[in-house]
Amino acid sequence: MSAAFIYTILSLSIIAVISAVILYFTARKFKVEEDSRIHEIESVLPSANCGACGYPGCHAFAEACLKAEVLEGLYCVPGGNECMAKIASILGKTVTEKVPMIAVVRCNGDFNARKKTTNYDSAKTCEIETFTYAGDTDCAYGCLGLGDCVKVCPFDAIHMDTTTGLPVVDEDKCTACGKCVIACPKDIIELRKKGLKNRRVFVSCVNRDKGGPALKACKAACIACGKCVKECPFGAIVLENNLAYIDDDKCKLCRKCVVVCPTRAIHEVNFPPRPVQKEEGPESVTKEIKRN
């Protein structure tokens, strides 16, 4: 009996030793020389493999950084300037700073502002609903609320607000990778500058219909009245295709447009609350269309 054990152990050990020798020599023969800096770069990257840099993952981006002569045109969106500075120091190259951006949802048509006029019950994705028809409200431009943007976000930074049926961006998590911008079939989500102290002013509507039909479809729509354009002291607002758009390069965050907008389509984010308006406040405020 004991002899059987000994033979087994012996033969297995011999196989193990031979395999080890073969493996050792094959490993030496087929060794791939990889720059150790790739691992260093990868360790500073966020490892989300989001693809926002244009490469199929963080490893590919690290390789691209290593190969590139200048870091111009290479940018890790989620990592931001901090990450790029680290990469630059690893490689001994220089990098220019980029302005931080954030995804902004430009639709304000919650359940109160625009009523559902039809009942959509096919596949629950925005892409297919857009392909089937204009949408289940009268507004053919607005958010469909089926959450293609939520499904595509690699950072869990966008969520559906069930009380409004609109997506909400988590400012701390959003890295402006732009995946939701591509996923949204209605082109509602836009990447905008994060702004000073995270403060932003933007038109929260993409309805390109004329004023009357737009307001009929949604009480919170931009009706292209042009008041904001007249009010803006910096010429930052343009009216195109029946829709106001605020250029975030020119906007100085004075918030004058927010006050004059009759449908409250212009939003301000992260500003301290305004002082309480007096009764005889500006005429435009009293004329506001009341939302139910």
Partner 1 sequence: MFANIKTFPVGGIHPHDSKLSAKQPITVLPLPETVSIMLSQHIGAPAVPVVNPGEKVKTGQLIAKSGGFISANLHSSVSGTVLKMDQVVEASGFKRMAFIIKVEGDEWADGIDHTSAIKTEITASSDEIRRKVADAGIVGLGGAAFPTHVKLSVPEGKKADFLLINGVECEPYLTGDHRLMLERAEGILIGVRLALRATGIKKALIGIEANKPDAINHLNRLTDDDPGIEVVPLKVWYPQGGERQLVKALVNREIPPPPKGLPIDVGCVVLNVATCYAIYEAVQKNKPLIERIVTVTGDAVKNPSNFLARIGTPIKQLIDAAGGLPESTGKILSGGPMMGKCLSTMESPVTKGTGGILLVPDNDAHRKEVQACIRCARCVSVCPLGLEPYLLMTLVEKDMLDRAEQEKITNCCECACCSYTCPANRPLLDYIRLGKFNVIQRMRKQEKK
Q: Could you list the residues that contact partner 1 (CB under 8 A)?
A: 117-119, 121-123, 127-128, 131-135, 140, 209-210, 213
Give the dihedral sign, CA 175/176/180/186: positive
Helix segments in 68-178, DSSP class H: 80-91, 126-132, 148-152
Choice between 68 and 123, CB closer to partner 1: 123
Taking each helix axis from N to C end, the angle separating 58-67 and 80-91, rounded to the nearest 10 degrees, works out to 50
Choice between 42 and 127, CB closer to partner 1: 127
State both tokens at 90.
Answer: 């690893």
Question: What is the nearest approach in angstroms of partner 1 to the Cβ of residue 111?
Answer: 18
Question: What is the nearest approach in angstroms of partner 1 to the Cβ of residue 119?
Answer: 8
2: which residues sit within 8 A by CB, 6+ positions away?
none
Question: What is the nearest approach in angstroms of partner 1 to the Cβ of residue 184?
Answer: 15
Choice between 209 and 248, CB closer to partner 1: 209
Distance CA 80, CA 100 (A): 7
Distance CA 126, CA 104 (A): 18
Choice between 33 and 121, CB closer to partner 1: 121
Q: What is the DSSP letter of 278?
A: P
Question: What is the nearest approach in angstroms of partner 1 to the Cβ of residue 255?
Answer: 33
Taking each helix axis from N to C end, the angle separating 58-67 and 36-44, rounded to the nearest 10 degrees, works out to 120
Alpha carbon 198 to chain centroid distance?
15
Choice between 210 and 287, CB closer to partner 1: 210
Question: What is the nearest approach in angstroms of partner 1 to the Cβ of residue 124?
Answer: 9
Q: Where are the beta strands (DSSP E) in 55-96?
A: none
Choice between 77 and 126, CB closer to partner 1: 126
Q: Which amino acid is at 13?
A: S
Choice between 56 and 282, CB closer to partner 1: 56
The residue to which tokens 């995946």 are assigned: 179
Question: What is the nearest approach in angstroms of partner 1 to the Cβ of residue 32?
Answer: 29
Question: What is the nearest approach in angstroms of partner 1 to the Cβ of residue 133?
Answer: 4
14: which residues sit within 8 A by CB, 6+ positions away?
none
- Closest to 189 (Cα-Cα) out of 204, 207, 209: 204
The residue to which tokens 């609350």 are assigned: 273
Choice between 147 and 195, CB closer to partner 1: 147
Q: What is the DSSP letter of 274?
A: P
Question: What is the nearest approach in angstroms of partner 1 to the Cβ of residue 142?
Answer: 12
